[in-house]
Amino acid sequence: MLDLQGLIKDRVLLLDGAMGTELFRAGLPPGHCPEAWNEERPEAVAAIHLAYLAAGSQAILTNSFGGNRLKLAGYGLEDRAYDLNYKAARVARSVCPEGCYVGGSIGPTGKFLQPVGDLTEDRLAEAFRPQVEGLAAGGVDFLLVETQYDLKEALLALKVARETCSLPVLVSLTFQLTRRGYFTIMGVSPEAFVKVMEEEWVPAFGANCTLNSEQMIGLIRILRSLTAKPLLAQANAGQPQLGPDGSTFYNQGPEEYASYIPELIRAGARIIGGCCGTSPEYIKKMAEIISASADNILKGELDETGNK
């Protein structure tokens, strides 16, 4: 089993960036299931993984963000959940070199549990089960339950993962910055999140999506004040904007995005990657900055605390 604590004890682990953005650049048609390309166009998915690895990623995430049964049902593919997730893992595993790692991406279902919605806990659990089974059988090193806005859904995904396999499971919520502070759209606070993650002995957790890299710093500082566990941060490349031709772009370029990485490390992030709008170009800039500054930042922290 991956020794996550040992892996990041004296280093920052660099994840990859957005998968969806790169799939569309590679020609994924609008409205087409991204996970279907694990079977239909595995070479295109592999090329994205390779581009991130070449840019400096030390761990890549599978093309399985929407691979639960409820999401796949929108494409009539709910009965293919195990196969598509298995193939997602195999594609990533096939190009991942020694010394790098594969994480199984598990995104939200897009549905709401009762009483907000009509989704039952049993149905939600069964939506995640074949996804976890496929990713584990395909050979991922860890699972990342990510972009969750409902803590109850995140906990059910965690429960299913632990019932199904022995892989380390990381959890990441998506927070918004409001006038009252950082909260998910379901009203989950950083304090409530950390309390549950500590109680569940989740080895590493944090936040992804919605916030840009500058905004993410404040949230990570709050999380670090509440826990000593390893923290994960995957910020968006700013906010999506519509171009004159109707295309979508993000308003935080690679240079600006990466300029906040040293402060993000000082705030407490130890597993860092990119979310919506980021690309291999962003990861390359992040890798350069982490290589140049992370060791000194971490050494300084160790000196200050006397734990070196």
Residue 288 has pLDDT above 70, yes or no: yes
Mean pLDDT of the region 146-162 = 97
pLDDT digits (tens, 9 = 90+) for 110-120: 999 999 989 99
Q: How far is residue 289's CA from residue 141's CA, in Å, rounded to a whole number?
A: 26
CA distances from 132 to 63, 74, 202 (A): 13, 19, 17
C-alpha torsion 135→139→140→145, nearest 10: 20
Predicted confidence band of residue 76 (pLDDT cuts 50, 70, 90): very high
In percent, the amount of the chain with pLDDT more than 70 equals 96
Residue 304 has pLDDT above 70, yes or no: no
pLDDT digits (tens, 9 = 90+) for 172-183: 999 999 999 999
Candidates 3.40.190.80, 3.20.20.330, 3.40.47.10, 2.40.50.140; CATH matching 9-305? 3.20.20.330
Identify the weakest region by mean pLDDT among 21-25, 48-52, 244-248: 244-248
pLDDT at 238: 87
Identify the weakest region by mean pLDDT among 46-60, 107-121, 150-164: 107-121
Task: Give the 3-state secondary structure of residue 133.
Answer: helix
| Residue whose C-alpha is closest to residue 144's, from 218, 224, 59 | 59
DSSP-derived secondary structure letter, 109:
-
Residue 307 has pLDDT above 60, yes or no: no
CA distances from 18 to 26, 80, 112, 273 (A): 13, 24, 25, 9
Average confidence score pLDDT of the chain: 93
pLDDT at 135: 98
Residue 153 has pLDDT above 70, yes or no: yes
Contacts of 29 (CB under 8 A, 6+ apart): none
pLDDT digits (tens, 9 = 90+) for 25-47: 999 999 999 999 999 999 999 99
